Chains A and B, each alone.
Chain A
Amino acid sequence: MNQSPYLNSFRGGPDEDGRFGIYGGRFVAETLMPLILELQEKWDEAKTDPEFQKELGHLGTHYIGRPSPLYFAERLTEHLGGAKIYFKREELNHTGSHKINNCIGQILLAKRMGKTRIIAETGAGQHGVASATVAARFGLPCVVYMGATDVERQAPNVFRMKLLGAEVKPVTAGSGTLKDAMNEALRDWVTNVDDTYYLIGTAAGPHPYPEMVRDFQAVIGREAREQILQAEGRLPDLVIAAVGGGSNAIGIFHPFLDDKGVKMVGVEAGGKGLDGDEHCASITAGSPGVLHGNRTYLLQDGDGQIKEGHSISAGLDYPGIGPEHSWLNDVGRAEYVPIMDHEALEAFQLLTRIEGIIPALEPSHALAEVIKRAPGMGKDEIILMNLSGRGDKDIFTVGKILGMEL
């Protein structure tokens, strides 16, 4: 393993320019620079303000339902016949995924900054729903940009957002998926700089977003670390999470990064396989580049044009990844592997039947990796997996693939 530049810690990043090694940074248009610098200033104040932390904690407990349980998946463990498998049950949060952790944090910050309008981008609609939810809770108007392709394949979430009072704007530019929605949100922000707060949903984008989103999501890992110590009296051997942009993964990884015995695996969407273009494995099959405000691993061609990804899971359908993951990969602290659509689909069905939990297709990717690794591990070893979202939103996608009429 290479040395971390952060004095024997893997948790010290980013530096003051927002860099994790060569990754991260602030690659944005000049119009946005003053906003990003202001955001950073306000975030630096807020994170050390006890009042802010108190309000965040209060809403975490009473609105989100934290702490989320740590669940020993007894039947799955037995079925796989190897390591003990624990799930961090983020799917039990209000709105059904980990996304709300970040949204609550950022809307408190938006309020503190005196912003009166919220914009967000969404792929599968989970972050859009979480954004619309907190906007409703705080009485702020919310515009959600969503690729036109995603609007069609995620109709239930579109309806949820509308019920919550958000305006959903379908984006037809480019190929009409998450990256185009993010482009459009940036265009909105650049146009409405005075009153608008851009609530980014993943641990990517220009500094300070990757750090801020990570810090709001790190509650997952902090709780899980305490809970596993209480349950088992020791730390897990392996932590596994799915990675699209990477917010749920960095949230569970970060508090364990300096625990030497804990291995980390991030699972990317292998789609239909890494040979063609129909996947979203930015680290496994991409290369470093600059998009959406940060340098990170991207799916791109030889001319630096960004490619369209593919995944069965709209939430992983993004051709980039958060910059801290790129760095953790390069320094060897975390390993990133692909899982194919069909493997995720099998895992989805297995968990549903064996544990009575319908997982979202995103954590189904992490689960497929658990299924691969657990049998080869000892019965005294422990795997901790982030069950980042529930699968209700995916039943139509899965139904279609399995040939069932809903």
Chain B
Amino acid sequence: MTARMDRRFSALAAEGRPALVTYFMGGDPDYASSLAIMKALPTAGADVIELGMPFSDPMADGPAIQVAGQRSLKGGQTLAKTIQMARDFRLEDADTPIVLMGYYNPIYIYGVDRFLEDALEAGIDGLIVVDLPPEMDDELCIPALRRGINFIRLATPTTDAKRLPTVLENTSGFVYYVSMNGITGSALPDPSVIGGAVRHIKDHTTLPVCVGFGVKTAEQARAIGASADGVVVGSAIVNQIASSLTADGAATEATVAGVEALVRSLASGVRGARVAAAE
């Protein structure tokens, strides 16, 4: 396995705080602005980066990420360019783990072997592929693990005790707990319910458990971070980008700065999580 992910979570555990995992769509609204956003994330306080691979038919995503994918594809983004973005980022940052997140078809068309080779060489540490459940592990998960790239699986409220071991079996890096049934960007449920679910998963695995889907504010990040090893923020960042664009979808000076400010605020939330929990 690429060591960056484990190293990062161990370091955070030693620090006694959860990770801030930030998602944005690669290429939104254009390659250069998107790369600038990516480079700004670690200094603003992101611990792990989820780099979205745009897909024309994102079935598990809410309107914010759907539209971000459309902007990105319109701007000429391809899977090859998304991998290139990671490569460009790695020139300046050797430590922040990068997880590619998206859907299977673009990878399948790129070619699984070629994809894994290029991803590894570009410094990518993990994959989240929404439409590849454990039943489809032969497609990408097993080949990825063999190459040393983490395959991060989603566990959801529908993942019951019977199914959880199946979901965890070939998962590595961390477990991504989706806090509710639904699409990205919906309303966040009660943090105490989430805390129970996280403890349930942790009874079955030693991997870090990160929680996402619906986290928008520093306060929510703080509440979730009290029980989880990481807090994932996606739609809020994507919305922040959308709100900074001109009427015809071009980046402005506020695009990168807005994301930086939001991530800094979220980072203060996760940094206060355990302090708040201890009170």
Is B58 touching A183 in the complex (CB atoms < 8 A)?
yes
Question: What 1/0 flags go to B127-140 for Cβ under 8 Å of A?
Answer: 00011111110000
Q: Does B66 contact A (CB under 8 A)?
A: yes
B63 sits at the interface (CB 8 A): yes
Contact (Cβ within 8 A) B104 A179: no
The minimal Cβ–Cβ distance linking B138 to chain A, given in whole angstroms, is: 10
Q: How far is the CA of A369 from the CA of B110 in the complex (A)?
A: 36
- Do residues A174 and B57 form an inter-chain contact, with CB atoms below 8 A? yes
Partner of A173, one of B54, B66, B79: B66
Q: How far is the CA of A186 from the CA of B59 in the complex (A)?
A: 6
Among B55, B79, B155, B181, chain A packs the most CB atoms within 10 A around the CB of B181
Binary interface profile of B, 19-50, with partner A (CB < 8 Å = 1, else 0)? 00000000000000000000000000000000
Give Cα distance in the complex from A193 to B108, angstroms. Answer: 28
Task: Flag A27-67 by CB within 8 Å of B: 1 or 0 each.
Answer: 11111111100000000000000000000000000000000
Identify which of A35, A187, A193 contacts B59 (C-beta below 8 A): A187
Residues of B within 8 A of A26 (CB): 133, 135-136
A232 interfacial by beta-carbon distance below 8 Å: no
Min CB gap A17→B, angstroms:
7
Interface contact A289-B181, CB-CB below 8 Å: no
User: What are the residues of chain B within 8 A of A305 when measuring CB–CB?
Assistant: 54-56, 73, 106
Interface residues of B in 40-88 (CB under 8 A from A): 54-60, 62-63, 66, 70, 73, 78-80
CA distance in complex: A34, B160 (Å): 8
- Is B105 a contact partner of A29 (Cβ separation < 8 A)? no
Tell me if B182 counts as interface (CB < 8 A to partner A).
yes
Most B CB contacts (10 A, CB to CB) among A17, A302, A303 go to A303
A190-230 interface bits toward B, Cβ cutoff 8 Å, 1 = contact, 0 = none? 11110000000000000000000000000000000000000
Of the four ranges (under 10, 10 to 19, 20 to 34, 35 or more), the interface on chain B belongs to: 35 or more
Question: CB-CB < 8 A to B135: which residues of A?
Answer: 17, 25-26, 33
Is A173 in contact with B109, judged by CB distance below 8 angstroms? no
Q: Does B120 contact A (CB under 8 A)?
A: no
Contact (Cβ within 8 A) B106 A304:
yes
Is B105 a contact of A290 with CB atoms below 8 Å? yes
Complex Cα spacing A383 to B65, Å: 49
Say whether A303 contacts B78, CB under 8 Å.
yes
| Known A25-B136, A289-B105, A291-B105: A31·B181 in contact at CB below 8 Å | yes
> Are the CB atoms of A27 and B109 closer together than 8 Å?
no
Q: Determine whether B159 belongs to the interface, using a CB cutoff of 8 Å to chain A.
A: yes
A300 on the B face (CB < 8 A): yes
A304 and B155 contacting across the interface, CB-CB below 8 Å: no
B222 at the interface (CB under 8 A from A): no
B153: Cβ under 8 A from any A Cβ? yes
A30 touches B183 (CB 8 A): no
**A321 smallest CB distance to B (angstroms):** 15
Alpha-carbon distance between A295 and B112 when the two chains are bound, in angstroms: 15
Which applies to chain A's interface (DSSP): helix, strand, loop or mixed? mixed
| Contact residues of A between 1 and 41, Cβ < 8 Å to B | 17, 25-35
A183 to B63, CA, bound (A): 12
- Residues from chain A with Cβ under 8 Å of B59 in the complex: 29, 183, 186-187, 190, 292
Task: Indicate whether A285 reaches chain B with its CB closer than 8 angstroms.
Answer: no
Check if A30 sits within 8 Å of B156, measured CB to CB: yes
Interface residues of A in 279-327 (CB under 8 A from B): 287, 289-293, 295, 298, 300, 302-306
Q: How far is the CA of A25 from the CA of B60 in the complex (A)?
A: 18
**Interface assignment of B167: CB less than 8 Å from any CB of chain A:** yes
Q: A173-B66, A191-B182 are in contact. Are A306 and B105 (CB under 8 A)?
A: yes
Q: In whole angstroms, what is the CA distance A237 to B225 when docked?
A: 68
Check if B109 sits within 8 Å of A304, measured CB to CB.
yes
- Cβ A187 vs Cβ B108 within 8 A: no
A292 to B130, CA, bound (A): 12
Q: Are A303 and B106 in contact (CB under 8 A)?
A: yes
In the bound complex, do residue A304 and residue B57 qualify as a contact, i.e. CB atoms below 8 Å apart?
no
List chain A residues, Cβ under 8 A from B159. Answer: 30, 34
* CB pair A31 B156 closer than 8 Å: yes
**Residue numbers in A under 8 Å from B107 (CB-CB):** 304
- Please measure, in the bound complex, the distance between the C-alpha atom of A304 and the C-alpha atom of B73, giving whole angstroms: 11
Q: Is the CB of B56 within 8 A of A306?
A: yes
- A34 surroundings in chain B (CB, below 8 A): 158-160, 163
Cα distance A183–B69 in the bound complex, in angstroms: 14
B residues adjacent to A (C-beta < 8 A): 54-60, 62-63, 66, 70, 73, 78-80, 103-110, 130-136, 153-160, 163, 167, 178, 181-183, 186
Given A26-B135, A186-B59, A190-B181; 19 other pairs, CB 8 A cutoff: A25-B135, A27-B131, A27-B136, A30-B154, A30-B167, A31-B156, A31-B182, A33-B134, A173-B63, A174-B56, A174-B66, A187-B183, A193-B158, A193-B181, A302-B109, A303-B106, A304-B108, A305-B55, A306-B56
A-B contact pairs, 21 of them (CB 8 A): A26-B135, A29-B60, A29-B133, A29-B156, A30-B159, A34-B160, A34-B163, A35-B158, A183-B58, A187-B59, A187-B62, A190-B59, A289-B105, A289-B108, A290-B103, A290-B104, A290-B131, A292-B57, A304-B109, A305-B56, A306-B105
